[in-house]
Amino acid sequence: MVLNKIDLLKEKELNDFEKRLREKLNWSGKIHQISALNKAGCSELCKALMNSVELHRRKLIKDENYREEQRCNEEKMAFEIRRSIGRSLSSKIVDEAARNEV
């Protein structure tokens, strides 16, 4: 998880916000705090992302169960993307038809 624009909050506000976010989302994982404006935390985030990508690649090669899990996840995502595109196109067609009736 990444919190951006940390430069807009005081340290106590940021810590309180992170605590509330963790509680609300029941999140126990790492939360990266960054400011794209002044680049605070960006280097650490990039390193963490690269480590995650490398770990993912190794697991794909070595772990058949992980590979199958990822394949199933990709199928679900592809289905959701197609469904979302279909809804978007349907909505545009309805909007266009409504404009033509006016």
pLDDT string in tens for the chain (102-residue length)? 999 999 999 999 999 999 999 999 999 999 999 999 999 999 999 999 999 999 999 999 999 999 999 999 999 999 999 989 888 877 777 677 777 776
Paired tokens of 51? 């480590």
Whether residue 75 is found in the same domain as residue 49:
no
SS3 33: strand
Same domain membership, residue 41 and residue 24? yes
In this structure, are 57 and 74 located in the same domain? Answer: no
| Whether residues 54 and 77 fall in one domain | no
Classify residue 34 by burial, with Cβ atoms within 10 Å: 0-12, 13-18, 19+. Answer: buried
> Which of helix, strand or coil describes residue 2?
strand
What total number of domains does the chain contain? 2
Are 58 and 90 contained in the same domain?
no
Pair (47, 6) in one structural domain: yes
Indicate if 49 and 71 belong to the same structural domain. no
35 and 14, same domain (yes or no): yes
Residue 102: give the domain boundaries: 67-102
- Is the Cβ–Cβ distance between 7 and 35 less than 8 Å? yes
pTM metric for this prediction: 0.66
Task: Please check whether residues 52 and 72 belong to one and the same domain.
Answer: no
